[in-house]
Structure 1
Amino acid sequence: MAEHAITVFLAFFAIMNPIANTAVFAGLTGDKSKAEQRHIATKALIITFVIILLFAALGKSIFDLFGITLPALRITGGILVFLVGYHMLQGSNSKLHTEQDDGDSDIAVSPLAVPLLAGPGTIATAMNYSASGGWAAISITCL
């Protein structure tokens, strides 16, 4: 169990990339007060947690519904992780890291919660680790 918890933590840390996302958060909320920044961060983290919780809890059901096997998800997740790493090494700017002013847009939901924190790589990781075991693996993945 401890090994599974450490593995899940390191995988989420690598996929979510909190160091780079801190800079993105600062760039998107630099003109806001500390209270507004705290509110945006809290809202983004709650939304991210709910999304990951849903995909972790419903991962096996989603696999069964679409006929996806765990090895197929692992291959696809590996490709996603490779592409994210490749783009990070290239230093190319992402459209996700810039704020698009849509009037009433909520940056806590997009781009912070989805897709930066709870993007396809994070969702695939949560589904992968929760589908590999029972309720114990789901609860370790969500904690």
Structure 2
Amino acid sequence: MNMYVNFFISVWIKFFFLLTPFFVLSVFLAMTQEMGGEGRRRLAVRVTFAVLLACFILYFFGNHLFTLFGITLDAFRIGAGALLFLSAVQMVQGEAVAPGERQDDISVVPLAIPITVGPATTGALMVMGADLQEYWQVTAGCGALAAAVLCIGIILYCAQAIEHVIGRKGITIMSKLTGLMLAAIAAQLVFTGIRGFLGIH
């Protein structure tokens, strides 16, 4: 039982940091400055559903995409890890995504895709989904992914309260810490890919 719980927690933590919660929160707050509390909460719910759908599509169909394009898992690990590392560096350096022009509905584009589920997160999700082969691992991975996305949704739903408690500076600090965790996950993906590519066990 402990093995299943530990696996669930481990995967949940990885997915949670892959979705860069505090970076997403800072962009969410910047793009919804003109909205009231109720409007922000409704938008947060729509973003959560959009992210959940995008993540599960990538998680379940990653293997099929690998087969279709003739890409090996190790090659994709290296590519996704490199892209994820670049995203992590941008976060640590404090480079934010420009909000751009106001749209009628920003829940899917750009908040869900590409801000929450960007190219780097997409690659990492496909790799992690392809890595889980046994039935119990796939089931636990689905639960962990859903839990991570729901945590993001809760953070966005409570965005106004969080901003009031820790302030913009606190959110910026948490975003940088998230970037450091992302860099570590990216390094692990690259090292695992290189080891598999070279046949080192």
CA–CA distance in 2 between the matches of 1:139 and 1:10?
16
Cα distance, 1:4–1:128 mapped onto 2, change above 3 Å: farther
Counterparts of 2:56 and 2:122, CA distance in 1: 9
Matched, 1:33 2:32: no
The 1:123/1:137 distance shift into structure 2, 3 A limit, reads farther
From 62, 78, 103, the equivalent of 1:75 is 78
Matches within 5 A, 1:1-143: 1-95=4-98, 98-102=99-103, 104=104, 106-134=105-133, 135-143=135-143
Distance 1:138 1:100, change over 3 A: farther
Cα 1:35–1:93 shift into 2, 3 Å? closer
Q: Give how far 1:58 is off.
A: 0.9
What TM-score results when the alignment is normalised by the length of structure 2? Answer: 0.62
Give CA deviations for 1:85-126 in whole Å, capped at 9, x if unaligned. 22123333333xx14225x3x211112100111112222222
Q: CA deviation at 1:54?
A: 0.8
Distance 1:83 1:65 in 2: 27
Q: CA RMSD in A?
A: 1.9
C-alpha distance in 1 between matches for 2:19 and 2:64: 24
The answer (yes or no) to whether the contact 2:54–2:117 under 8 Å persists in 1 is: yes
Percent of aligned pairs sharing the same letter: 30
Structure 1: state its 5+ residue gaps: none
Q: Does structure 2 conserve the Cα–Cα contact (< 8 Å) formed by 1:56 and 1:127?
A: yes
* Length-normalised TM-score, structure 1: 0.85
Unaligned regions of 5+ residues in structure 2, if any?
Answer: 144-201
- Report the number of matched residues: 139
**Structure possessing the higher radius of gyration over alpha carbons:** 2
Q: Give the aligned residue type for 1:142.
A: C
Which protein has the bigger helix share? 2
Amino acid at match of 1:117: T
Which of structure 1's runs of 4+ aligned residues deviate more than 6 A? none
